[in-house]
Amino acid sequence: MALIITSDNDLNPPAPPALPLATDEYSRQYQDQLNNVLRLYFNRINALQQQLDWAQAVDYIDFNTTPPEFSHQTGRVNWDAPDACLEVDLEYGVVQQVGQEIYARVSNNTGATIPNGTVVGFAGATTDSLRVSPYLADGTSPTVYILGVMTHDLPDSGLKGYCTVFGFVRDLDTTGTPYGETWVQGDILYASPSTAGGFTKVKPTAPDNVILMAAVTTVSATEGVIFVRPTILQQTYYGTFNLTTTYSPPLANTAYPVVFNNTQSANGVALGTPASRVVVVESGFYNISATLQYTSSNASSKNVYSWIRRNGVDVAQSSRILSLSGSGVYSPVLISESVSLAANDYIEIVMASTDTAVSLVAAPATAFAPGSPAVNLVVEQIQQ
């Protein structure tokens, strides 16, 4: 039986009293003697209870630091000798090492059981829990939606469970075999971009999410252990867009937005309507870098202007001026500016010339060099 010490003073339980031998017939003397013995015994018990001072909070509780083997049950607290901490028995057979593990209270409405060891992310909320679902790090879900790793099987039953956001998750297959990999002790694991709820030791690259999830501490097909500590590398958005055909302005001294006809690569940045508009889905601080390749069809001197617009308004001091005087000569212009954009803002690259003999010119690939677009635009989010 466990002992609870509530005072620096030893609590000495009274020894059972030695009762007088009963007489064959009723004896007033015997009865008085028996009453006195019992009264003394109960007075000693009462004095012991008063030492405990039941109406006051205890100063501390001592646990046995070398406990014997015993069964776990929900609501039990004991000292965990191997991990040198208290442990609390929770639902689903989960045993929490106090101070060494942190759980989030979660629920599941995916329509299927979420197994122990599944990487999960935010999927909504209820009044008193977060809803989770297996997380796929392929760039379709924001990086900030990541939560942790399930520490038990959680059925879609309406009941809440536990997701480890810091600490050990046990009884897993940590060989890497389920993912076509080979894991060893100390491997760093990332959220998988190809298997929902899975891991990979290969660091993903954009447009996939890069989320460090855990480290392998014990390699086993059935009793493997990982230490979970999600580390979110903030996802930044980008896009590269081209004009791959030649364009000539119809009128001199008139502003014309460049209409792009090709998306080279993009994540969170896209061509809008019209295609001169490049739209960002998330707010942030963006670097806008555009290269415009001009040529002239005659040798007369002329000036070409190139600049950036944000939501239809010219960005101050963003104009670059190129003086052209040769005929058939390629002349590039670089615009590079950093602008703050709100979600769904758009930017445009605009050009104007003092002479209509100017063109934005694209060049085809040669035997030794790739094609050259008339305009190349790179949009990069450099701060959230």
Q: Which single residue is written with the structure tokens 């060049």?
A: 363
CA 78 to chain centre: 32
Query: Per DSSP, what are the bridge partners of residue 22?
Result: none
Q: What would the pLDDT profile of 264-322 be if each residue is shown by its tens digit?
A: 999 899 999 999 999 999 899 999 999 999 999 998 999 999 999 999 999 999 999 99
Asked if 77 contacts 61 with a C-beta cutoff of 8 angstroms, the reply is no
Q: What is the pLDDT of residues 146-169, one digit of tens each?
A: 999 999 999 998 889 999 999 999
Are the CB atoms for 145 and 211 separated by under 8 Å? no
Distances (CA, A) of 195 to 138, 223, 298: 9, 22, 59
Query: What is the rounded distance in angstroms from the CA atom of residue 291 to the CA atom of residue 306?
Result: 10
Give the rounded distance of the alpha carbon of 73 from its chain centre. 32
Least-confidence region, from 3-17, 183-197, 345-359: 3-17
**Does pTM top 0.95 for this prediction?**
no
By CB atoms closer than 10 A (0-12, 13-18, 19+), residue 332 is exposed
H or E segment and range at residue 78: strand 77-80
CATH of domain 238-383: 2.60.120.40
Specify the residue for token string 């959220």: 191
Contact by Cβ (8 Å): 123, 180 = no
Query: DSSP class of residue 363?
Result: B
Instruction: Please tell me the predicted confidence (pLDDT) of residue 254.
Output: 97
Of 264 and 328, the one with more pLDDT = 264
* Of 379, 382, 241, 358, nearest in space to 306 by CA: 358
Give pLDDT, residue 1. Answer: 34
Choose among 236, 237, 258, 235: nearest CA to 304: 258
Task: Please give the average per-residue pLDDT across 232-237, as a whole number.
Answer: 80
Are the beta carbons of 291 and 376 closer than 8 angstroms? Answer: yes
Q: Which candidate, 2, 1, 101, 14, places its Cα nearest to that of 61?
A: 2
CA 15 to chain CA centroid, Å, is 61
d(C-alpha 82, C-alpha 80), whole Å? 6
Write out pLDDT tens, residues 11-57: 566 677 777 777 777 788 877 787 887 888 777 777 766 666 556 67
Q: Which amino acid is at 266?
A: A
Is residue 130 within 8 Å of residue 104, measured between CB atoms? yes
State the average pLDDT over residues 62-77: 90
pLDDT at 201: 97
Identify whether the C-beta of residue 379 lies closer than 8 Å to the C-beta of residue 308.
no
Nearest to 168 by CA among 226, 113, 124, 253: 226
pLDDT tens profile 80-121: 988 899 999 999 999 999 999 999 999 999 999 999 999 999
Query: Residue 302: which of 322, 282, 316 has the closest Cα?
Result: 322
Residue 170: how many CA atoms within 13 Å on its side-chain side? Answer: 8
The distance between the two most distant Cα atoms of the chain, rounded to a whole number of Å, is 142
* Structure token pair of residue 256: 């014309």
Q: Does residue 6 carry a pLDDT above 60?
A: no
pLDDT value of residue 55 = 61
Q: Is the pLDDT of residue 3 over 60?
A: no
The overall average pLDDT reported for the chain is 90
Query: How far apart are alpha carbons 89 and 355 in whole angstroms?
Result: 81
Determine if the peptide bond prior to 178 is cis (ω within 30°).
no
